[in-house]
Amino acid sequence: MKLRLPTAVTTAWVLLAACCLPASAQPDALHTVAPADTGSDSRHWGELVEGLQMHAALDMESLTVTCIIRNGCTEVVGYSEYMLGHCVSSWLERECDTGWQPIVQWLHVSIGVAPRPKENRIAQPGALLPMPEWSGCESAQDTFVVSLNWFDWPEGIAQEPTLGIRVVHGVFSAVDVSPGNDDRWHYMVIRSAPIRIDDPAVIRKLVSR
């Protein structure tokens, strides 16, 4: 069933699922993600959040945004691949006069499970985060795609000459369920650098779909 849910609801759903993690579980050994060669990287990366940052590139023809997440710091970063690259974990923000506002997304709602220790990963400095096989990513292993057609765009933007957007993605840190640890997981939000759409025809297309 196709439902329209506010971003706050989808985020709360992910967080609620994480609360179901059994306290008796034992963590598995972390898998290591090798670093990528970023010496000649000309991509525009978003703000660094606890070691991670995201790049997003818009295809004007298909109205899809290809996203990459990497460890952008000089230390190793632990994370969980739970919900990584999943459409429920991604949303858009639109630039307005008062700042950035979330865009309501049309979602196929499904029931998920909580983060598990076997999904823990470690990213070396500069490493691109590979997407899990179950994520349904149709492009390269280390990218995921966000379609602008997933979102309910306000009709008023059709009159605007330019549109600024950015992709937002929720990531869980590596799960630590060792005895006595009450903070078993940590949920963080990373954002891409702003994307500018300067073609009024493309902006009108968003509203017409």
Q: Which residue has the higher pLDDT, 43 or 100?
A: 100
Domain boundaries, the chain: 2-21+30-208
Helix (H, G, I), strand (E, B) or coil at 150: helix
Identify the residue whose tokens are 């349904």.
Answer: 136
Q: Which residue has the higher pLDDT, 120 or 100?
A: 100
Please determine, looking at this structure, whether the domain spanning 2-21+30-208 carries the CATH number 2.40.30.170: no
**Residue 8: which pLDDT band, with cuts at 50, 70 and 90?**
very low
- The pTM of this model reads 0.75
- Residue 1: predicted pLDDT: 40
- Residue 63: predicted pLDDT: 92
**Residue 155: which pLDDT band, with cuts at 50, 70 and 90?**
confident
DSSP sequence for 155-188: GGGGG-S-EEEEEEEEEEEPP---TT-S----EE
Q: Which residue has the higher pLDDT, 175 or 130?
A: 130
CB-based contacts of 40, cutoff 8 Å, min separation 6: none
**Residue 186: which pLDDT band, with cuts at 50, 70 and 90?**
confident
Q: What is the mean pLDDT of the chain?
A: 75
Mean per-residue pLDDT, 63-86: 88
Identify the residue whose tokens are 């799960």.
Answer: 175
pLDDT in tens, 17-66: 333 333 333 334 456 656 655 555 778 999 999 899 999 999 999 999 99
Mean per-residue pLDDT, 91-119: 74
